[in-house]
A and B are shown apart, each in its own frame.
Chain A
Amino acid sequence: MTSTPAQGTPSQGVGLGMPELPAPDYPADVRTRLEADAREIIARYPDSRSALLPMLHLVQSEEGHVTRTGMRFCAEMLDLTTAEVTAVATFYTMYRRRPSGDYQVGVCTNTLCAVMGGDAIFEDLQQHLGVGNNGTTADGKVTLEHIECNAACDFAPVVMVNWEFFDNMTPATARQLVDDLIEGRPVTPTRGAPLCTFKETARILAGFPDERPGAVEAGGSAGPASLLGLRLAKGQPLGARVVHPRDAAARDTDRPDAAPREAGPGDGPRTGPPSASHSSSHDAPSTTSASDPAHPAGPVGGPAGPAGSAEEEEGE
């Protein structure tokens, strides 16, 4: 067991030289801690392999993405090969395969949200943050991606941050949101608990309940749109507006610390209204192999800084 990063140099081109060396193990103390968590996960299932998905969330909660070390750990705990683990880790979109931001900002661009404004929001955020799809800001705070339908169509357009709901967004509110994240201001989802970091979110996904006081209560019983039919059935008039305020000014009323902002370092270039183009080229498949030298998935202790943003933003 070693705690030093792998010394191997990335393989070059298509040479038929040495295959990649096995991933290094976690440091002993990390390994001990994760083993205890993993055993708890495995105990939930009649068959240990069922623990693989939650365990990949677990290793993601350790390092912010699924590293080769994390996959090796899963393989060893579940008596699988690393190839079997890699096959699973690369199938699911929630597993990140390279270092990414503390906040995963996903803009829904499936048809309904896209039409209702998701495309404009996504376009606008790319310009504002200066990153493309799956790109991370230079400070390592925000990773931007477009996501598929997140089951909140009655709150369209929807933005998810670390898989918490931000409903009824506009380009302006979305910009404000990412600025708040970058500048460390507290951010509260429309429905859900105050944001935690991506790593902390990954731990909840691994099946370890959120123990923060008030986390379960936060957000109330149901969003306004969810109550629409109930209110009508009770004979209550709907009034003019039953959704969350969509404009930035109204949003600011529930954020006392929000003052009119001046241009700050987080402000990217703003180039007028969102482009009217509606190409759908941002959906190119990402590469899938962890052995792809251009997309290293490890090793531990590698550059922790933000990943390059442009390489995976592949056109058609």
Chain B
Amino acid sequence: MSVATGELNETSPDKLLAPVLSAFWDEDRSWTLDVYRRHDGYEGLRKALTMSPDEVIAYVKDSGLRGRGGAGFPTGMKWQFIPQGDGKPHYLVVNADESEPGTCKDIPLLYANPHSLIEGMIIACYAIRSSHAFIYLRGEVVPVLRRLHSAVREAYAAGYLGENVLGSGIDLDITVHAGAGAYICGEETALLDSLEGRRGQPRLRPPFPAVAGLYACPTVVNNVESIASVPAIMHHGKEWFRSMGSEKSPGFTLYSLSGHVANPGQFEAPLGITLRQLLDMSGGMRPGHRLKFWTPGGSSTPMFTDEHLDVPLDYEGVGAAGSMLGTKALQCFDETTCVVRAVTRWTEFYAHESCGKCTPCREGTYWLVQLLRDIEAGKGEMADLDKLNDIADNINGKSFCALGDGAASPIFSSLKYFRDEYEEHIRGRGCPFDPAKSTVWADKHTEVNA
């Protein structure tokens, strides 16, 4: 390789990155059981089966693994909440409804390495005493569905699923369930309603899913990446896991870099890496441009600017800087991008995806869109900016579920950092940006009109 010796220090990619789930995605047929087993696949399960279910829960809890789907709730604690000896069936439901704008980690993970999820599910089901688990995959990703079908079939054939898993006396079935297009189903209680064959609308909590989830039975709902991280923790040990990241945010995770960067892609690293480090190693922003704003964890997390390049991307670091780690979807936009356009589009998304159950979100997102479209088109008034803030404030924290809070985030944060740009649209009676300049082909001369 061509890196000079001087660069081989603690800032070189091999020191900063930690591919675990992605460690063999570059191998031929990485999604198959054979390749997975060559990389210690199902060894974590074997170790888990030597422990008692409660010991497994305690072990995952001690590892410090936190949910990778956005909220960051400790995974082991979720498992611990399941009442035991209650005589009811228990369920594990994996949330593979990855739809948060900017988020693109679970889909490549399931495409290249579905067995890590299945092994994690078997361990989780053993721990919470569940004999039926579900993967709720968003429907719009058929290539991933194919590989999940294939992986589940392989796991049954190898004795990891079905009756008497690996001779343990435990029975387990996994059902792969394809959704039908609804962002709201990523919200765990809406997901459960959808899995029960209903409109995907969130439920009032309490009761929480751990008490009354799927079919009103105790249910754990975990994100794909959270569950897929469990086998490595079991196999390599909780100390190994805790050797990465920080005290409160231990371990490795997938960061998804996208937008106006030279090289968008997936980067698996210990928690706490910074955007500056990721950009430095991957080639930075596209040539001749500079970072203007970015999201640390999808559109529902308040946006950052170039002031935040050194914020440690872990739960505490991002929280302290005024946003949320979310799904670690690092969407980067350069100076050619109109913030008002970006926020308008996100807000249209939230309005489209609002399930309609609660008034603040259903009505609020609608009116935000009306105001934003006017502002973007140069038909806004200065008073509209306060009105935007006011409506967002009436959605945030007052809605049934987090979709409403997510809808308010881009409004608040963009007004905080880019209020002058909104005012420019109003004063100048239009958008000062040329959208052609922000396209990927804007700086290339190869684009042809066939």
Interface residues of chain A, those whose CB is within 8 Å of chain B, are 44-47, 49-54, 56-57, 78, 87-88, 91-95, 106, 109-112, 114-117, 119-120, 147-157, 160, 162-165, 168, 170-172, 175-176, 189, 191-193, 201, 204-207, 209-210, 215-219, 221-238, 242-243, 246-249, 261, 270, 272-274, 276, 278-281, 283, 285, 316
Chain B residues with CB under 8 A of A53: 177-180, 194, 197
Chain A residues with CB under 8 A of B299: 111
Chain B residues with CB under 8 A of A110: 101, 345-346, 349
- Once bound together, how far apart are the Cα atoms of A297 and B28, in whole Å? 45
- Once bound together, how far apart are the Cα atoms of A204 and B345, in whole Å? 31
Q: How far is the CB of B200 from chain A (nearest CB, A)?
A: 7
Inter-chain contact A221/B179, CB cutoff 8 Å: no
Chain B residues with CB under 8 A of A94: 139-140, 179-181
Of A150, A216, A237, which one neighbours B140 at CB under 8 angstroms? A150
Of A45, A164, A209, which one neighbours B150 at CB under 8 angstroms? A209
Of B111, B146, B258, B282, which one neighbours A232 at CB under 8 angstroms? B282
Chain B residues with CB under 8 A of A270: 449
| Beyond A94-B179, A111-B345, 16 additional pairs, beta carbon < 8 A | A47-B197, A54-B178, A111-B341, A112-B102, A115-B342, A151-B106, A156-B259, A163-B140, A175-B450, A192-B142, A216-B147, A221-B27, A226-B111, A246-B444, A276-B434, A285-B352
Q: Does B195 contact A (CB under 8 A)?
A: yes
- Once bound together, how far apart are the Cα atoms of A209 and B264, in whole Å? 32
Known: A217-B29, A221-B28, A221-B29. A52 touches B22 (CB 8 A): no
Q: How far is the CB of B441 from chain A (nearest CB, A)?
A: 6
- Once bound together, how far apart are the Cα atoms of A150 and B178, in whole Å? 14
Known: A193-B146, A221-B30, A238-B282. A46 touches B448 (CB 8 A): no
Inter-chain contact A223/B198, CB cutoff 8 Å: no
- Once bound together, how far apart are the Cα atoms of A274 and B197, in whole Å? 42
Inter-chain contact B111/A191, CB cutoff 8 Å: yes
Chain B residues with CB under 8 A of A209: 146, 149-150, 153
Q: Does B145 contact A (CB under 8 A)?
A: yes
Restricting to B137-164, which residues have a CB under 8 Å from any CB of A?
138-143, 145-147, 149-150, 153
Chain A residues with CB under 8 A of B376: 278, 280
Chain A residues with CB under 8 A of B29: 217, 221
Restricting to B1-46, which residues have a CB under 8 Å from any CB of A?
1-3, 13-14, 17-19, 22-23, 25-31
Inter-chain contact A153/B264, CB cutoff 8 Å: yes
Inter-chain contact A279/B256, CB cutoff 8 Å: no
Chain A residues with CB under 8 A of B181: 92-95
Known: A56-B180, A283-B348. A117 touches B441 (CB 8 A): yes
Inter-chain contact B431/A278, CB cutoff 8 Å: yes
- Once bound together, how far apart are the Cα atoms of A154 and B147, in whole Å? 20
Question: Contact string, B223-259, partner A, CB cutoff 8 A, digits 1/0?
Answer: 0000000000000000000000000000000011111
Q: How far is the CB of B3 from chain A (nearest CB, A)?
A: 7
Of B281, B440, B446, which one neighbours A116 at CB under 8 angstroms? B440
Chain A residues with CB under 8 A of B329: 153
Of B103, B149, B180, which one neighbours A95 at CB under 8 angstroms? B180
List the 5 shortest-distance A-B pairs measured between CB atoms, nearest first.
A228-B265, A229-B267, A52-B197, A192-B143, A92-B180
- Once bound together, how far apart are the Cα atoms of A78 and B198, in whole Å? 12
B370 nearest in chain A by CB position: A316
What number of B residues sit within 8 Å (CB to CB) of A? 109
Inter-chain contact B25/A116, CB cutoff 8 Å: no
- Once bound together, how far apart are the Cα atoms of A171 and B264, in whole Å? 20
Q: How far is the CB of A158 from chain B (nearest CB, A)?
A: 9
Chain A residues with CB under 8 A of B112: 221-222, 226
Inter-chain contact A92/B182, CB cutoff 8 Å: yes
Q: How far is the CB of B190 from chain A (nearest CB, A)?
A: 10
Inter-chain contact A152/B448, CB cutoff 8 Å: no
Interface centre among B99, B153, B178 (most CB of A within 10 A): B178
Interface residues of chain B, those whose CB is within 8 Å of chain A, are 1-3, 13-14, 17-19, 22-23, 25-31, 89, 98-104, 106-108, 111-112, 132, 138-143, 145-147, 149-150, 153, 175-183, 194-200, 215, 255-260, 263-269, 281-283, 299, 329, 331, 333, 337, 341-342, 344-346, 348-349, 351-353, 355, 373, 376-377, 431, 434-436, 438-441, 444, 446-450
A109 nearest in chain B by CB position: B345
Q: 16 pairs across A/B with beta carbons < 8 Å?
A: A49-B197, A95-B180, A111-B331, A111-B345, A149-B103, A152-B107, A154-B258, A206-B178, A207-B177, A216-B146, A230-B19, A234-B14, A246-B444, A276-B434, A280-B344, A281-B373
Known: A149-B99, A246-B440, A280-B344. A204 touches B450 (CB 8 A): no
Inter-chain contact A222/B108, CB cutoff 8 Å: yes
Chain B residues with CB under 8 A of A233: 13-14, 17-19, 268
Chain A residues with CB under 8 A of B14: 232-235
Q: How far is the CB of A13 from chain B (nearest CB, A)?
A: 27
Chain B residues with CB under 8 A of A279: 373, 377
Q: How far is the CB of A285 from chain B (nearest CB, A)?
A: 7
A242 nearest in chain B by CB position: B263
- Once bound together, how far apart are the Cα atoms of A278 and B104, in whole Å? 25
A90 nearest in chain B by CB position: B199
A279 nearest in chain B by CB position: B377
B151 nearest in chain A by CB position: A216
A173 nearest in chain B by CB position: B450
A128 nearest in chain B by CB position: B450
- Once bound together, how far apart are the Cα atoms of A173 and B145, in whole Å? 26
Chain B residues with CB under 8 A of A236: 1
Chain B residues with CB under 8 A of A119: 435
Inter-chain contact A204/B146, CB cutoff 8 Å: yes
Chain B residues with CB under 8 A of A189: 143
Of B98, B266, B355, which one neighbours A226 at CB under 8 angstroms? B266
Inter-chain contact B179/A115, CB cutoff 8 Å: no
Inter-chain contact B142/A163, CB cutoff 8 Å: yes
Inter-chain contact A151/B141, CB cutoff 8 Å: yes
Known: A50-B196, A92-B179. A247 touches B353 (CB 8 A): no
Inter-chain contact B263/A93, CB cutoff 8 Å: no
- Once bound together, how far apart are the Cα atoms of A147 and B15, in whole Å? 38
Q: How far is the CB of B171 from chain A (nearest CB, A)?
A: 14
Chain B residues with CB under 8 A of A109: 345
Q: How far is the CB of A261 from chain B (nearest CB, A)?
A: 7
- Once bound together, how far apart are the Cα atoms of A299 and B391, in whole Å? 43
B109 nearest in chain A by CB position: A226
Inter-chain contact B267/A232, CB cutoff 8 Å: yes
Known: A92-B182, A273-B449. A149 touches B439 (CB 8 A): no
- Once bound together, how far apart are the Cα atoms of A226 and B282, in whole Å? 13
Of A78, A148, A247, A273, which one neighbours B183 at CB under 8 angstroms? A148
